[in-house]
Amino acid sequence: MKTSNKASNNFISRWFKFDEFNTNFKQETIAGITTFTTMVYIVAVVPGMLRSGGLPFESALTVTIFMTALTTFIMGVYTNRPFALAPGLGSVAIFSFTLLGGGVPLEIASGIVFISGVLFMIVSFLGIRDFIVRVIPKSIKVSVGVGIGLFIALLGFKQSGIIIANAKNNVLVFGDLTATSTLLAIVGFFIVIFFTTRKIPGGIILSIIIITIIGLFFGVTDLPKEVFSFPARIDNMFLKIDVIGALSPVYLPFLLAFFIPDFFSTLGTLLGVGGQAGYLDNDGNLPGIDKNFYVDSTATAFGALFSCPVLTTYLESAAGVAAGGRTGFTVVITSFCFLLTLFLAPLASTIPTAATAPVLMFIGINMMSSIRKVDFEDVTEYLPAFICVVISIFSFNSGNGIAAAMLVYAFLKLITGRYKEDHWSVYLIAVLMILYFYNLASH
């Protein structure tokens, strides 16, 4: 038995090049568990958001965990990098609340995600990444993430009951701040802040667990009838896809809303975490980054077949790197940890919104930090960024925000005589956005 274990360890060591990266089995395992503890909150948050869009919680949970584990495992084995993947919360919010919540059929929503993944694959496999970086205006790249972040934060405030819609005055107002579930959400928000600012490993999932337990004493959390169960069937989410229908111009802003954050957040995460791990060369490039893009883009297209929102490389991978993870074996361990949670659906389904809403609030607010990258000395840059964020929030639709921002951006560049600063495709997109608003008004 000892000989067998030693041979297994040697194989793993050779495959993942432990010696080259000055690491070992124990160090990589600890790093993988660390990454898992910082990401495991998605097990409660993502299926809960998808349930709000009308999908069965248990099926959504199975799809979320399965796709996270599978794509993360492939990333680790194929690229030998400690990058984990999971559904991006921004894409989940658009998929569930904007599309499904707005009456768009599941098949169309999945089709939009699929097209986004295919577009990402084309960009990745044809090596035109630098072209896309140049084509998309910087202010749009930044403001899309900020707008989606505020969109997510607003969802959290809404789900917690802190902010509600006043139909009489047609404005947002405070809800009943004395309601038990709302008070628990407020407490949960401060717990999240405490854990994250103190950099406590797994702080977000700890806050969810704490509020869920406290909720038991106040009737907010229901005790599960059982602790373990077999994974739910996913036939109600598998191959529910209509690519042809999703090609309608009316869905173009949502395609951009999926593609732009996925592409640029993946690029930023790979370079940021790669730099932390010491992978970058003297020019600041990440050797082998194409492989990472291959996996990330293919994961999105493949996940769409299971009605899974955009799968993207998670920034939480940095936690595993900080714990010593240097190879793909780190996230192989992470994927195995996620697989174990497949059998805990009864526990996950009891988590109340009072426990998950604070997480959405915190993560959404955190996404605002990139707004500092906007050039506030240049009206052609900061005005479109402002429009993108404001329209996304006011219309409760990030697709509207992107469409409006592209129009304003193109208009400003034209009237200031600076139209040559951008690729011609920027103006083509602006024309398509006019068609989008025309179709929107017609309906």
Q: Is the separation of the CB atoms in 76 and 329 below 8 Å?
A: yes
pLDDT at site 349: 76
d(CA 106, CA 110): 6
Q: Is residue 391 part of a domain?
A: no
Rounded to the nearest integer, the mean pLDDT of the chain is 86
Q: Where in 269-323 does DSSP place strands (E)?
A: 311-313
Between 226 and 79, the more confident residue is 79
pLDDT band, residue 1 (cuts 50/70/90):
very low
pLDDT at site 440: 64
Q: Is residue 428 part of a domain?
A: no
Residues 32-36 have a mean pLDDT of 87
d(CA 308, CA 319): 25
Q: What pTM was computed for the model?
A: 0.79
d(CA 216, CA 213): 5
Q: Is the separation of the CB atoms in 419 and 430 below 8 Å?
A: no
pLDDT at 362 over 90: no
Q: Helix 398-415 and helix 425-442: axis angle, to 10°?
A: 130
Q: Is residue 136 part of a domain?
A: yes
- Find where tokens 């980054």 sit: 289
Domain that holds residue 142: 24-369
pLDDT at 44 over 90: no
Q: Is residue 328 part of a domain?
A: yes
Residues 295-307 have a mean pLDDT of 95
pLDDT at site 201: 74
Q: Is residue 420 part of a domain?
A: no
Q: Is residue 431 part of a domain?
A: no
Q: What percent of the chain has pLDDT over 90?
A: 35
d(CA 89, CA 202): 18
Tell me the per-residue pLDDT of 374-389, one tens digit each, with 9 for 90 and over.
888 999 999 999 998 8
For the chain, the domain total comes to: 1
For 87, phi then psi, to 5°, come to -60, 130
Question: What is the sign, positive or negative, of the torsion defined by CA atoms of 293, 296, 297, 299?
Answer: positive
